[in-house]
A and B are shown apart, each in its own frame.
Chain A
């Protein structure tokens, strides 16, 4: 099988600027998400994710403008998320040129949205993002960026989302996120082995070995990370060369 495992940098965008700093030398506009995205694309990132963390209405408009610029300037697929609550938001993002949208809180609040997106635009457009926290041996799903606990449980909810028409599951472990000691590979392996759709690992990347482990042990189809790329701790080019040496099929 030759389908490559994907490496996906995630950019948080507020008022049109990337939030996390970067250590890229010679990058004139490090705060510009389009310039940064372009840089990642040149380093052989497989896809990009842009998350709108702006709250204001004006910020949303700025984000849509940014999506249009990304679509015009970057020739790899990209997903957008944040503030997508209804079909109209999805349409606005796709019209601006996004390839996929990621929905998180809105999917739990209104699970029918998944089916609506799938039937209007195709399953491949709909990435369902799940933030979950391991508590007493149960993966509990959270809303609103991890602030609101729900009755939903990871495996059950991921299965339901898949049956409703999600094209991919993006799972972030709140226990692993920011700790930089590896991804939640046990849970990821269960998701990958039970779902008929691709699974993206998120939360916990600290070193190259963590990516190898999430592909080998976690059976993930793709791995997403932010700070290790933004701060220049891991270069995507070097990471992919390393993964290839470790016997993982990646696009160089």
Chain B
């Protein structure tokens, strides 16, 4: 299977490459619109700042490339946030795939540290992305901005307030946490996405 990872000015992209290699997949890290378009599935990962990364995507015309994708797409962390309509981080408009905003966490108590960093639970899971994953499983989060609950929410976490741990709309799936850094649970989540992509590419979905 041909897996494309979108190359852009975000950090942590190679962690996803390593995670896929551990699952036996040799992904193509690329910013070439043609290669991305031809892939069986596309992963849009990263860690970074919203305005800088959005500006880069626009300058390299990757914004249109991503929104026009018809194959399965998995956004991770900043990737998921950029797939929303707007981010409070630098007050930038984003790709608009998920009709929801990205907001900054406002601590209510001193012990609520920002960023939300570390292992936290997945709750209210309801999507094939989480096949074989137990309610309450721990995954690794690291973020200061969050997506509120909305009609596309397929898993939640509660930190200061309940927010979206994952989103899905048609072929676009996304996680706020880092499956590539979430041990065995994360591996299963990535495998679920790859299995679904394989079925789509075989024409079984």
Does A59 count as interface, using CB distance less than 8 angstroms?
no
Nearest chain B CB to A165 CB, angstrom units: 12
Q: Are A124 and B47 in contact (CB under 8 A)?
A: yes
Q: Number of residue pairs across A and B with beta carbons under 8 Å?
A: 87
Q: A2-B121, A3-B116 are in contact. List 4 more A-B contacts (CB 8 A).
A: A2-B120, A77-B140, A77-B142, A97-B15
Residues of B within 8 A of A4 (CB): 118-120, 138
Residues of A within 8 A of B117 (CB): 124, 167-168, 198
Query: B119: which of A3, A71, A75 is its contact (CB, 8 Å)?
Result: A3
Residue ranges of A at the interface with B (Cβ–Cβ < 8 Å): 1-4, 6, 41, 46, 71-73, 75-77, 94-95, 97, 99, 121-125, 167-168, 192-193, 195-198, 219, 221-222, 251
Does B204 count as interface, using CB distance less than 8 angstroms?
no
Query: A71: which of B14, B111, B113 is its contact (CB, 8 Å)?
Result: B14
- Known pairs A1-B158, A99-B12; A76 contacts B140 (CB<8 A): yes
Query: B182: which of A3, A75, A198 is its contact (CB, 8 Å)?
Result: A75
Does B151 count as interface, using CB distance less than 8 angstroms?
no
Query: A75: which of B48, B157, B187 is its contact (CB, 8 Å)?
Result: B187
Does B181 count as interface, using CB distance less than 8 angstroms?
yes
Pick from B18-26, B65-73, B168-176, B194-202 the stretch touching chain A. Answer: B18-26
Residues of B within 8 A of A222 (CB): 118
- Known pairs A71-B15, A77-B181, A121-B11; A167 contacts B119 (CB<8 A): no
Query: A3: which of B11, B15, B49, B118 is its contact (CB, 8 Å)?
Result: B118
Closest 10 CB pairs of A and B: A251-B138, A4-B119, A251-B119, A2-B121, A3-B120, A72-B18, A77-B181, A124-B142, A198-B113, A75-B183
Residues of A within 8 A of B19 (CB): 75
Residues of B within 8 A of A168 (CB): 117
7 A-B interface contacts by CB (under 8 A): A1-B158, A3-B159, A4-B119, A72-B21, A75-B182, A122-B48, A196-B107
Closest to B14 in A: A97
- Known pairs A94-B11, A122-B48; A193 contacts B138 (CB<8 A): no
Interface centre among A99, A125, A192 (most CB of B within 10 A): A99
Query: A219: which of B111, B112, B159 is its contact (CB, 8 Å)?
Result: B111
Q: How far is the CA of A197 from the CA of B22 in the complex (A)?
A: 33
Closest to B112 in A: A1
Nearest chain B CB to A131 CB, angstrom units: 22
Q: How far is the CA of A6 from the CA of B114 in the complex (A)?
A: 16
Q: Are A167 and B115 in contact (CB under 8 A)?
A: yes
Nearest chain A CB to B77 CB, angstrom units: 10
Residues of B within 8 A of A97 (CB): 14-15, 18
Q: How far is the CA of A97 from the CA of B13 in the complex (A)?
A: 9
Which residues of B (130-176) have their CB < 8 Å from a CB of A? 138, 140, 142, 157-159
Q: How far is the CA of A41 from the CA of B158 in the complex (A)?
A: 25
Closest to A45 in B: B183
Residues of A within 8 A of B21 (CB): 72
Q: Are B114 and A196 in contact (CB under 8 A)?
A: yes
Q: Are B183 and A41 in contact (CB under 8 A)?
A: yes
Q: How far is the CA of A4 from the CA of B157 in the complex (A)?
A: 13
Q: Are A122 and B49 in contact (CB under 8 A)?
A: yes
Nearest chain A CB to B43 CB, angstrom units: 16
Does B34 count as interface, using CB distance less than 8 angstroms?
no
Residues of B within 8 A of A3 (CB): 116, 118-120, 159
Does B79 count as interface, using CB distance less than 8 angstroms?
no
Residues of B within 8 A of A41 (CB): 183
Q: How far is the CA of A196 from the CA of B11 in the complex (A)?
A: 24
- Known pairs A4-B138, A122-B49; A197 contacts B183 (CB<8 A): no
Q: How far is the CA of A72 from the CA of B23 in the complex (A)?
A: 11
Does B180 count as interface, using CB distance less than 8 angstroms?
yes
Residues of A within 8 A of B182 (CB): 75-76
Does B186 count as interface, using CB distance less than 8 angstroms?
yes
Chain B positions 82 through 116: 1 when the CB is less than 8 Å from some CB of chain A, otherwise 0: 00000000000000000000000001001111111
Chain B positions 9 through 45: 1 when the CB is less than 8 Å from some CB of chain A, otherwise 0: 0011011001101100000000000000000000000
